[in-house]
Structure 1
Amino acid sequence: MAGMRGMGFTEYLPSKLQGTIITAFCYPNDPRFQFDEFYTRLNDKGFVIYPGKVSNIDCFRIGNIGRLFKCDMLALLAAIRATLSEMEIELPCS
């Protein structure tokens, strides 16, 4: 959560209402952000995210499912940073 917030992402739900298995993040407010491209680039780096299942806002979900370690989460954050850079998207830092 801290890593995503540090990059400028915001969660769909406030912290007190979130579960621990899946977290939904709002799409960045940048016209260059295209979910399909973001998804494909992350997938090419070995990470799978999920489209949002919320009807009133564009978001994507990250699952924290399985045997994950700190190094896995750090690798995901690095892949997201690299993908944003490749897509030339700069988010305002939280």
Structure 2
Amino acid sequence: MDEPEIVVDVARGDAALSREILASLRSIADAGGDPAFAKLVERVVSGELGVRELAGTEAFSSMLDRLVAPVLEALRETTYEDLVERQPDREV
């Protein structure tokens, strides 16, 4: 028998959104290289832990610090002209 699909707490009952959130968390866990965070994600995937609970952990905060810091640094070095140049042409 198939296991029931996990609908995460922050998805408000939306199964498709839950799948997206879980896939994103798995991707972050795979790329992050933090075993503690990966274990917490597996607990979310199993339904044992909620996403809100995950967001309140030190492992989540540490992972965000590692992933977001380089993005913020790149943004600091980006000029307005760089941003405008990268935008796709829009028909008005």
TM-score range relative to shorter protein: 0.3 to 0.5
More strand by share: 1
The two structures have a TM-score, normalised by structure 2, of: 0.32
Q: Which structure has the higher relative contact order (CA within 8 Å, separation 6+)?
A: 1
More helix by share: 2
Q: Which has the larger radius of gyration?
A: 2
